[in-house]
Amino acid sequence: MTQSAEREQAPELIAAVDLGSNSFHMIICSVKKGKLQTIDRLKEMVRLASGLNEKKILDKATQQRALACLERFGQRIQNFPDNNVRIVGTNTLRTAKNAEQFLAKAELALGYPIHIISGIEEARLIYQGVAHSLQSNANRRFVMDIGGGSTEYIIGTNTIPAQKESLRMGCVTVSNRFFTNGAISHTRFQKATLFVNQQLNSYKKIFNSRQWDEAIGASGSIRAISKVITASQWSNDGITQQGLETLKEHALSCKHISELQLPELDDERLPVFMGGLAILYATFQTLDIEQMSVSDGALREGLIYDYLGQISNHDIRSDTVSMLASHYHTDTQQAELVKHTITNILEQSHPFLGAQTKLIAQYLNWAADLHEIGRNIAHSQYNKHGAYIIKHGDLAGFSQQDQMLLSVIIAAHRRKIPTKKIADLHTPWDKSAIYMIIILRLAVLLQRNRSNTDLPDFKITLETSKISLKFPTGWLNNAPLTQADLKQEAEYLAKAKFKLVVS
């Protein structure tokens, strides 16, 4: 495994890119003495969601429009270290059946990996971005963000979200479905708001105004509506029910979006304005919201603060792993023994693994903490049960690619090695994961007695398709179970085209 070339260092700069279903956003911040300052913002309306056909295929024209934007974004951050750039894709890239093919081209255009996040993770990050942009207080906040393909609803206090939901309706999708070609009518608006009410009805009790103290809106759609209402003097206090009602009546007096003629409404926002208005209006009605203020913070700011947490040893992902391990009653002592052995193997394998060693250690430690969670369901094939939980759970801080990697590692930590699933992993894990799996397998095998006193000092050498294990003279003869396990492991590894040499 060769080490990747180091990028030019830019330690004081971090960038976050949000590939939304309506707009692509990038924010660049400087970090000095723990303080964050925004130094650059880029935004382009790509309308990714408009490029999805009935079969959920992202069309070529939309892809080309998106890639052209990403090439411009990529030029701005081309010299940033990999670890200083966070890029996420949201609803449309979660939905598109050809997302993987597009992502390969998008990552080439940007020069950095793109992580697809779940709707619940999107909601968590939005709340972080909003919470950090406001003064801290004890109020329970309701936060709403209308995206191009989804709308997120969150309730939280300070920086901690308590309730999170992501509904598959956005300003692009609702506009395309109910206001085709920009046509406006009472019937169209009624159908659009009914659709929103149907989506939101199941969560009415959770997010009703009785459950929180203040409402805050994020996203371009809500900011656009707020600007229009304020500039038209329909409200002097953010977005109000009366202001929305007046805006709705004005909009429904028009037959086409070109007739709206609203102050402070950009031409770029016009094609998706009615969809955003219908979602916000219906939400106000359904949740009995009287007034909503608007925040500048959103998903990309949340990404920045999440990154700052990681580098200051407050990685939400580690908290998530600890919570899962506790929930599924894992043997924490055994997990620590496995992690100790992983550390030993990684220290000896650093010459082979190179620059990836630190990142590999992080994922392997999480895998060690979680590799037995499936036992809480059934002992038989517990590795597969654990893998299912990791793959399909809403794990705060983890992208879908992260969860898939952990899921495959945990599924493969015993018995047959699923080489096809490994090859299907996102780059670079399609090449690196096999070594991570081998390291975890050996660590678990060597700690089968669940007692560190039984394990001697050993030497290990990792090569491209070969692993050499050397124990103190005579030790294996006195450890027949370990000897048998290693013989069986050699057979499993051989099927994955690896040779295990034990002496």
7 has a pLDDT exceeding 90: no
Provide CB contacts within 8 A for 83, sequence distance 6+.
none
Distance CA 307, CA 87 (A): 11
Lowest mean pLDDT among 55-69, 299-313, 453-467: 299-313
> What integer pLDDT is reported at residue 32 of this predicted model?
76
| Separation between Cα atoms, residue 401 and residue 113, nearest integer Å | 10
What is the pTM for the complete model shown?
A: 0.87
**Token output for 43:** 């935004």
C-alpha distances out from residue 174 to 58, 150, 227, Å: 17, 10, 21
Q: What is the DSSP string of 341-392?
A: HHHHHHHHHHHHHGGGHHHHHHHHHHHHHHTTGGGGT-STTHHHHHHHHHHH
Whole-angstrom Cα distance, residue 52 to residue 274? Answer: 19
**Integer angstrom CA distances of residue 96 from 17, 55, 65, 101:** 19, 9, 16, 10
Report, as an integer, the average pLDDT of 148-152. Answer: 96
Helix (H/G/I), strand (E/B), else coil: 115 = strand
**Mean pLDDT of all residues belonging to the chain:** 92
What is d(CA 490, CA 501) in angstroms, rounded to the nearest whole number?
A: 8
In this structure, the number of other CB atoms found within 10 A of the CB of residue 497 comes to: 10
User: Coil, helix or strand for 141?
Assistant: strand
Residue 9: pLDDT over 60? no
pLDDT digits (tens, 9 = 90+) for 19-48: 999 999 999 998 776 677 889 999 999 999
The span from the CA of 2 to the CA of 231, in Å, is 58
Query: What domains can be seen in the chain, in order of their start residue?
Result: 13-116 (3.30.420.40), 120-298 (3.30.420.150), 315-502 (1.10.3210.10)
- Per-residue pLDDT at 24: 95
Is residue 136 predicted with pLDDT exceeding 70?
A: no
Handedness of CA 228, 231, 236, 238 (dihedral sign): positive
CA distance 448 to 457: 16
Peptide bond before residue 428 is cis, with ω within 30 degrees of 0: yes
Number of H helices, E strands in the chain: 19, 14
pLDDT higher than threshold 90 for residue 436: yes
**Short-list 93, 10, 74, 56, CA closest to 426:** 93
Mean pLDDT of 211-225: 94
What is the average pLDDT across 473-485? 91
Residue 451 confidence (pLDDT): 79
Q: Give the Cα separation of 390 and 374 in Å (integer).
A: 10
